[in-house]
Amino acid sequence: QVQLQQWGAGLLGPSETLSLTCGVYGESLSGYSWTWIRQPPGKGLEWIGEISWRGNTNFNPSLKSRVTMSVDTSKQQFSLELSSLTAADTALYYCARRGNIMIVEDMPRDYYYMDVWGTGTTVTVSS
Amino acid sequence: IQMSQSPSSLSASVGDRVTITCRASQRISNYLNWYQQKPGKAPNLLIYAASTLQRGVPPRFSGSGSGTDFTLTISSLLPEDSATYYCQQSYNTPRTFGQGTKVEIK
């Protein structure tokens, strides 16, 4: 059964860069895309972006200028960097697997969802 | 695509039928997921493709809808269903979420 374990610095100063890594255990990282999502304290979920096992990325336009994602298939890990931090970036950051299934109805369609999640890393931005 | 849920919170009794609504700002066919999040835990996938139950999810949960309007129904509420529920569109990126609906047990 696939599990995700994430780690990274939890307390950062304004203008610094957040760096988080998510390790994939129990199943190959290859063949899937991998997602980062964050949740500010007491608030809802925000999709940050996703990276395929081949390294293709999609980012949230609201964060795109500050986000970098990478994947290392040999280490079974993928990573997130978010630069120029402000207090607004304080949040619980989750990594997740982007599962997909093709359903053939009137035509073949690919459906995507987050089916495996890490436990989350709290990141606080404070001076 | 903006996703909006209603109500933002509700309180219901054990055994009640509970319905949560999610509306997309544009048509998304049935590219709609539902998640359950309990306090201090990561979200858990309940439903994808608007109405397909994820493996292991109890059948008291069901989803419906297409286009812009969707619903999540809990047919008979149990104490362990106390949680916040989120919809998410998977039609395109960014894969936006609704603001969440908090379900409490009376």
Q: Tell me the backbone φ, ψ of residue B68, rounded to 5 degrees.
A: -120, -15
Per-residue pLDDT tens for A30-69? 999 999 999 999 999 999 999 999 999 999 999 999 999 9
- Closest Cβ–Cβ partner in B37, B49, B94 for A111: B49
Structure confidence at residue A107 (pLDDT): 81
Q: How far is B14 from chain A (nearest CA, A)?
A: 26
Q: How far is A122 from chain B (nearest CA, A)?
A: 11
For residue B33, what pLDDT band results from cuts at 50, 70 and 90? very high
Give CA–CA dist A21/A8, Å, rounded.
Answer: 6
Per-residue pLDDT tens for A2-37? 999 999 998 999 999 999 999 999 999 999 999 999
3-state DSSP of chain A = CCEEEEEECCEECCCCCEEEEEEEECCCCCCCEEEEEEECCCCCCEEEEEEECCCCEEECCCCHHHEEEEEECCCCEEEEEECCCCHHHCEEEEEEEEEEEEEECCCEEEEEEEEEECCCEEEEECC
Give CA–CA dist B54/A111, Å, rounded.
Answer: 12
Q: What is the mean pLDDT of chain A?
A: 96
Cβ-proximal residues to A87 (8 Å cutoff; 6+ apart), any chain? A14, A125, A126
Measuring CA to CA, how many Å separate B78 from each of A14, A43, A88, A124, B8?
A: 44, 24, 36, 35, 19
Chain B partners of A99 at a C-beta cutoff of 8 Å?
Answer: 45
Residue whose C-alpha is closest to residue A19's, from A73, A78, A72, A63: A78
Rounding to the nearest 10 degrees, give the CA dihedral for residues B90, B56, A119, A6. -70
Q: How far is A25 from chain B (nearest CA, A)?
A: 17
- Closest chain B residue by Cα to residue A39: B42
Radius of gyration over alpha carbons of chain A, in Å? 15
For residue A105, what pLDDT band results from cuts at 50, 70 and 90? confident
Structure confidence at residue B8 (pLDDT): 98
